[in-house]
Amino acid sequence: MKRKGMKRKLHTAGKIVLALFVILGLGFGYNCWMNAMFVTNFYTVESDKVIKSVRIVELSDLHLSEFGQDNEKLVQRIRGLAPDIIAVAGDMNIDENEDYSIVTTLMEQLVKIAPVYYAPGNHEWASIYAFHYTDLPDDLEALGVHWMNQTYEDIEVNGNTIRIGGFFEWPRTELEREGSKKVADALNDNKDAYNVLICHCPEVLK
């Protein structure tokens, strides 16, 4: 009786382990599938500070994914949207990967469509400070990308004055870094123009 009970328990445990493997496998497969496609979402924000409409295309978390050769499908889609500004909210690379040429090739094409403003995510941050691939900001700026790491700019778009800022910030820091607080204060104090903040972890602003 004890052996039968033990066999029954092992059999049940085996089913549970198998189910866990199936769930993990489905989760892995789903993530692989999601990384093989891109989704376009549209949001409309109204403000009395905007006299003429501005279209911003925002990208993030591609993690070295490619959609067609040299991201031709993604670039074609963005070009078709006719953006006035392209905002990149980080994690376009993979932190431990020294070769980020997919990112620079994409940015080289995007700057020909519209001004590109790029704020780092945790993968850019780690690649620079943990893995010491420190050429990334310089390589992007050489292409004409605005590297928005704890900084802001005042720009004119379609007759609108826009203050655009960017920084990387983990939620746990709660804007305690001096540079990030400077950007946040500059946007908060700017009452006359429309403000845009590019931040990989926007929950820090809650």
pLDDT (tens digit per residue) in 113-170: 999 999 999 999 889 888 988 899 999 999 999 999 999 999 999 999 999 999 987 7
Pairing of strands 194-199, 151-157: unpaired
pLDDT tens digits along 34-48: 456 677 889 998 888
Please tell me the predicted confidence (pLDDT) of residue 198: 94
How many CB atoms neighbour CB 173 within 10 A? Answer: 13
Please tell me the predicted confidence (pLDDT) of residue 93: 94
Q: Which helix (H) or strand (E) holds 110?
A: helix 101-110
* pTM beyond 0.75, yes or no: yes
The packing angle between helices 101-110 and 72-81, to 10°, is 30
Residues ≥6 apart with Cβ < 8 Å to 25 = none
